[in-house]
């Protein structure tokens, strides 16, 4: 069905003018346009409400919006009643009857008289009752008990029977009564319907395919949600909360494409109407929940315990790991489009692989029990079994059938002999026994059994995983949205690569490197450009970044120098922790938050920036994206170099494997030597302790590929 742009919910009232002060028992309206919720409005009487609604409908139509309007009174009476009153089966004729007959005003109306008149059409006394005035209306009993016995049976609409707590419309006044609301409501809607004729439909009497759709609603379907909301603060008016939550719930059902189910839940006699939401109560209640989420990061999540000064790399990683959790939403997408995405839940095999026992080869199938040692000669049955063409009959014991790879084993077949091992003649197959029972067959579920976890939550999907999910009957995958990672360079000295050479400036080398790293890790990268070294530009850049990214990588300006604006502004206006990590290369790593979005402040030096990004940002971003804490696969190889290493810090050397598979390292460890990054195919990782390395000693080599460098 065409979605609605706007949802209006009206809490109607059959009572008289309630004055200008906002109260319950008046008319309340709530509007949700798209995902935008407007504050509920108070209308002190029906006249004012009707003209407000008419204007609202007109302005929504002028905007080209499609609108769903819900009203909390019965759109009809139990089946047959409308016909009794108007002579017509069409309940909308009854609406027009009320519009004609009801004399309504802010201070009162003739509803008791009308109820008495309708009662006159029915035998005995009833069905309407209650009289709040001094005047007697012949035929309208004051008390329920005064009705004729035939009206004691619960005469209600099917939808009222299904929605718990509904009042019937027979009671014309008093606590909880809805009779007066229905009379005045139907009269009002009849006028609105006439005013928007051709562009408005009344569901379920008419198909809900016009620009404006009226539907009956019942806010008490959300009574638990309303109660919970009222419990959060004293100054809330129940009616206002009801319309607000119901409008939200209906708008959200629409956005989720579930309103169709709510509309098709209508049942029962076609002249009674139906409460929109009855039949899908649970969905409606879920959709009424507030759209809030926990804060992404704890305020102090990056704080180190007091007294910690230089942090060993492993401790730093452990702390980072503990501080972070996913910040992305989930979505369900076709498996074929899920490459690189991270599974947001365990994915369960929908069928076994293989689903049925089948043949692993092209050959001849038979029952093993009828064969033995020595030459075997079996007559063939006509036909064959092929993949996708199941052999329907049974193969009798002592006979064989032609079978192809992947074909399900026909009844009577448990063993297959390879076609290369047989001789065929005159409808017989001959081969040498004994053949092992079950030879050349695959058991059902021998690979994966239906119901097993095929791939667990947090797994990043690679091409082989797409084969597995597809084979197990999973066409859709529930995955995390792509983490949006922004990359910002900072520094007055930086020039855009490709611009004319000015030897006093430094080309921005980090941004293309980091952007490409982010892309290779499967995230959505955002180029945030270069921020010059002023507080204002840095602030603007961070504001912009935080509004459209889930995480921010910066480089440069991360120390405590005069021009280190990133750390200064984060310290003064955001949140920042500077971690001095016992690591070479790498100056302090800055971890902060700007408007709740994590900021990873990388050193400016490209060599240090790369190492910090690979060692710290990579696993951290993976967790933010819903994935696992990534630990690179490393290999131990003989060193092809000599080195004396001091104790007290972790070192990463730019390295590659020589033709013997030994790790050689770049000639200079200088952190300005960008060429070494390109020369290398990975990093040699040296532990925190002191070490004298001689050629041939084992060292740990982490290939770039294992760090997701592509
Ligand atoms: P900083 O961390 O800002 O003190 O920078 C440390 C060193 O890295 C300085 O020599 C900077 O010029 C250099 N640098 C900073 N950002 C970049 C960048 N994006 N590309 C290349 N070099 C940079
Ligand atoms: Mg700088």
42: nearest Cα among 67, 11, 71: 11
Closest atom of ligand 1 to 561 CA is 4
Main-chain phi, psi angles of 102, to 5 degrees? -85, 130
Most confident of 118-127, 225-234, 359-368, 583-592: 359-368
Q: What is the mean pLDDT of residues 369-381?
A: 96
Are 169 and 65 spatial neighbours (Cβ–Cβ below 8 Å)? no
Mean pLDDT within 20-48: 92
* Most informative mutation of 562, 586, 605, 610 for ligand 1 (most atoms within 8 A of CB): 605
Q: Which ligand places an atom closest to the C-alpha of 601?
A: 1
pLDDT on residue 645: 95
DSSP-derived pairing of the beta strands 575-584 and 551-555:
unpaired
To test the pocket of ligand 1, the residue of 491, 515, 674 to mutate (highest count of ligand atoms within 8 Å of its CB) is: 491
Which bound ligand lies closest to the C-alpha atom of 561?
1
Helix axis angle for 535-548 and 565-573, nearest 10°, is: 70
Residue nearest to atom 23 of ligand 1 (CA): 604
> Pick the residue with more confidence: 74 or 305?
74
Ligand 1 atom closest to Cα of residue 511: 19
pLDDT at 17: 84
Q: Give the residue whose CA is nearest to atom 15 of ligand 1.
A: 604
State residue 168's pLDDT score: 86
Looking from the CA of residue 489, the nearest atom of ligand 1 is 19
Task: Indicate if the pLDDT at residue 415 is higher than 70.
Answer: yes
Among the bound ligands, name the one nearest to the CA of residue 563: 2
- Tell me the average pLDDT across 279-293: 90
Q: For residues 79-106, b (16+ Cβ closer than 10 Å) or e, as one string?
A: bebbbebbeeeebbbbbbbbbebbebee
Position 500 scores a pLDDT of: 95
Q: How far, in Å, from the CA of 556 to the mean position of ligand 1?
A: 5
How distant, in Å, are the alpha carbons of 321, 353, 512 from that of 628? 10, 27, 26
The ligand 1 atom at the shortest distance from the C-alpha of residue 564 is: 3
pLDDT value of residue 437: 97
Average pLDDT score, the chain: 93
Amino acid 560: pLDDT: 58
> Six-digit token pair at 695?
């050629």
Residue 67 is predicted with a pLDDT of 97
pLDDT of 563 reads 67
Q: Which residues surround ligand 2, an ion (CB under 5 A)?
A: 491, 556-557
Q: Separation of 381 CA from ligand 2 center, angstroms? A: 83
Residue environment code for 347-359, b if the CB has 16+ CB neighbours within 10 A, otherwise e: bebebbbbeebbb
Q: What is the pLDDT of residue 291?
A: 79
The confidence band for 308, taking pLDDT boundaries of 50, 70 and 90, is confident
Distance 666 CA to ligand 1 centre (A): 21
Strand, helix or coil for residue 267: coil
Q: By mean pLDDT, which of 292-306, 369-383, 585-599, 654-668 is the weakest?
A: 292-306
Cα of 564 vs centre of ligand 1, distance in Å, is 11
Least confident of 18-22, 445-449, 598-602: 18-22
For residue 589, name the pLDDT band (cuts at 50, 70, 90). Answer: confident
Which atom, in ligand 1's list, is nearest to the CA of 510? 19
CA 672–ligand 1 middle distance (angstroms): 10
pLDDT of 344 above 80: yes
The pLDDT-based confidence of 233 (bands split at 50, 70, 90) is confident
Predicted confidence band of residue 51 (pLDDT cuts 50, 70, 90): very high
pLDDT band, residue 565 (cuts 50/70/90): confident
CA 1 to ligand 2 center in whole angstroms: 56
Of ligand 1's atoms, which has the minimum distance to the CA of residue 555? 16
Q: What is the pLDDT of residue 570?
A: 86
Whole-number Å distance, alpha carbon 655 to ligand 1 midpoint, is 23
Q: Is the pLDDT of residue 350 over 80?
A: yes
- Ligand 1 atom with least separation from CA of 603: 2
Given pLDDT bands bounded at 50, 70 and 90, which one contains residue 561?
low
Q: Which two tokens mark 367?
A: 């029952």
For residue 645, how far is its CA from the centre of ligand 2 (angstroms)?
29
The Cα–Cα gap between 352 and 358 comes to 12
Q: Give the CA angle between residues 594, 596, 600 to the nearest 5°.
A: 55
Which ligand has an atom closest to residue 603 CA? 1
The atom of ligand 1 lying closest to the CA of 493 is 12
Distance 560 CA to ligand 1 centre (A): 14
Distance from Cα 307 to the centre of ligand 1, integer Å: 30
What pLDDT, on a 0 to 100 scale, did the predictor assign at position 637?
A: 98
Question: Residues 363-368: what's their mean pLDDT?
Answer: 98
pLDDT for 378: 97
**CA 591 to ligand 1 centroid distance, Å:** 18
* Atom 10 (ligand 1) nearest CA: 605
pLDDT at 559 over 70: no
Mean pLDDT of 391-396: 95
To test the pocket of ligand 1, the residue of 509, 604, 670 to mutate (highest count of ligand atoms within 8 Å of its CB) is 604
Q: Which residues have C-beta atoms less than 6 Å from ligand 1?
A: 489, 491, 493-494, 506, 508-511, 555-559, 603-606
To the nearest whole percent, how much of the chain has pLDDT over 90?
81
What span, in angstroms and rounded, lies between the C-alpha atoms of 462 and 521?
A: 12
* Range in 5-9, 292-296, 431-435, 475-479 the model is least confident about: 292-296
Question: 567 alpha carbon to ligand 1 midpoint, in Å?
Answer: 14
Does residue 558 have a pLDDT over 70? no
- Ligand 1 atom closest to the Cα of residue 509 is 20
Percent of the chain with pLDDT over 70: 99
**Residue 153 pLDDT exceeds 80:** no
DSSP track, 221-257: GGHHHHHHHHTT-TT--HHHHHHHHHHHHHHHHHHTT
Q: DSSP assignment of 607-618, as one string?
A: HHHHHHIIIIIH
Test site for ligand 1: of 555, 568, 578, most ligand atoms within 8 A of the Cβ: 555
pLDDT band per the 50, 70, 90 thresholds, residue 573: confident
115, with CB counted inside 10 A (0-12, 13-18, 19+), is buried
Residue nearest atom 18 in ligand 1 by C-alpha distance: 508
User: What tokens appear for 710 in the block?
Assistant: 């592509």
**What distance in angstroms lies between residue 253's CA and the mean position of ligand 1's atoms?**
51
For residue 440, pLDDT over 90 is answered with yes
């Amino acid at each position: 069905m065409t979605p609605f742009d706007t949802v209006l919910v009206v809490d109607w009232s059959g009572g008289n003018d309630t004055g200008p002060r906002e109260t319950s028992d008046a008319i309340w309206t709530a509007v949700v346009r798209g995902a935008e919720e407007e504050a509920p409005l108070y209308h002190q009487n029906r006249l004012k409400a009707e003209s407000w609604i008419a204007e609202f409908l007109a302005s929504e139509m002028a905007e080209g919006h499609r609108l769903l309007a819900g009203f909390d009174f019965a759109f009809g009476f139990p089946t047959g009643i409308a016909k009794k009153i108007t002579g017509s089966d069409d309940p909308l004729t009854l609406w027009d009857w009320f519009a004609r007959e009801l004399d309504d005003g802010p201070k009162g109306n003739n509803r008791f008289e009308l109820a008495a008149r309708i009662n006159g059409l029915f035998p005995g006394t009833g069905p309407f009752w209650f009289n709040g005035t001094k005047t007697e209306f012949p035929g309208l009993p004051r008390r329920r008990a005064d009705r004729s016995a035939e009206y004691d049976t619960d005469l209600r609409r099917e939808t009222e029977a299904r929605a718990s707590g509904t009042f019937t419309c027979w009671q014309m006044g008093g606590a909880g009564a809805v009779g007066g609301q229905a009379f005045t409501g139907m009269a009002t809607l009849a006028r609105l319907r006439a005013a928007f004729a051709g562009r408005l439909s009344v569901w379920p009497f008419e198909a809900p395919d016009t620009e404006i759709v009226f539907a009956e609603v019942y806010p008490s379907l959300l009574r638990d949600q309303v109660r919970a909301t009222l419990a959060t603060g004293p100054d809330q008016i129940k009616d206002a909360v009801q319309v607000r939550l119901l409008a939200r719930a209906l708008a959200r059902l629409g956005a989720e494409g579930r309103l169709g189910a709510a509309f098709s839940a209508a049942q029962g006699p076609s002249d009674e109407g139906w409460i929109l939401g009855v039949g899908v109560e649970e969905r409606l209640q879920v959709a009424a929940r507030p759209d809030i989420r926990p804060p992404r990061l704890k305020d102090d999540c990056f704080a180190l315990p007091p007294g910690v000064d230089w942090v060993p790399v492993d401790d730093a990683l452990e702390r980072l790991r503990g501080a972070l959790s996913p910040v992305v939403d989930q979505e369900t997408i076709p498996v074929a489009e899920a490459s690189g995405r991270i599974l947001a839940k365990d994915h369960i095999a929908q069928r076994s692989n293989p689903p049925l026992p089948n043949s692993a080869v092209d050959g001849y199938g038979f029952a093993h029990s009828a064969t033995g040692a020595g030459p075997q000669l079996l007559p063939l049955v006509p036909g064959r079994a092929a993949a996708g063409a199941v052999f329907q009959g049974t193969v009798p014991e002592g006979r064989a059938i032609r079978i192809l790879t992947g074909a399900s084993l026909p009844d009577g077949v448990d063993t297959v002999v390879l076609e290369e091992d047989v001789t065929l003649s005159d409808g017989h197959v001959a081969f040498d026994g004994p053949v092992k029972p079950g030879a050349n067959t695959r058991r059902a579920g021998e690979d994966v059994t239906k119901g097993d976890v095929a791939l667990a939550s947090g797994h990043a999907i690679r091409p082989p995983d797409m084969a597995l999910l597809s084979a197990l009957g999973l066409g859709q995958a529930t995955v995390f949205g792509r983490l949006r990672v922004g990359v910002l360079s900072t520094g007055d000295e930086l020039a855009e690569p490709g611009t004319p050479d000015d030897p006093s400036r430094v080309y921005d080398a980090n941004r293309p490197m980091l952007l490409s790293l982010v892309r290779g890790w499967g995230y959505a990268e955002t180029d945030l450009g270069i921020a010059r070294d002023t507080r204002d530009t840095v602030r603007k850049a961070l504001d912009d970044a935080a509004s459209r990214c889930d995480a921010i990588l910066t480089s440069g300006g991360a120390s405590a120098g005069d021009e280190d604006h990133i750390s200064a502004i984060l310290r003064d206006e955001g949140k920042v922790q500077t971690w001095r990590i016992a690591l070479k290369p790498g100056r302090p790593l800055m971890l902060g938050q700007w408007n709740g979005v994590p900021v990873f402040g990388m050193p400016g030096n490209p060599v240090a920036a790369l190492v910090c990004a690979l060692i710290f940002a990579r696993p951290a971003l993976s967790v933010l994206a819903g994935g696992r804490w990534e630990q690179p696969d490393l290999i131990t190889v003989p060193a092809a170099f000599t080195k004396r290493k001091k104790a007290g810090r972790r070192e990463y050397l730019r390295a590659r494997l020589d033709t013997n598979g030994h790790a050689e390292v770049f000639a200079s460890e200088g952190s300005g030597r960008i060429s070494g990054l390109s020369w290398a195919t990975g990093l040699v990782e040296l532990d925190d302790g002191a070490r004298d390395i001689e050629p041939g000693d084992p060292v740990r080599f982490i290939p770039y590929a294992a760090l997701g460098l592509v």
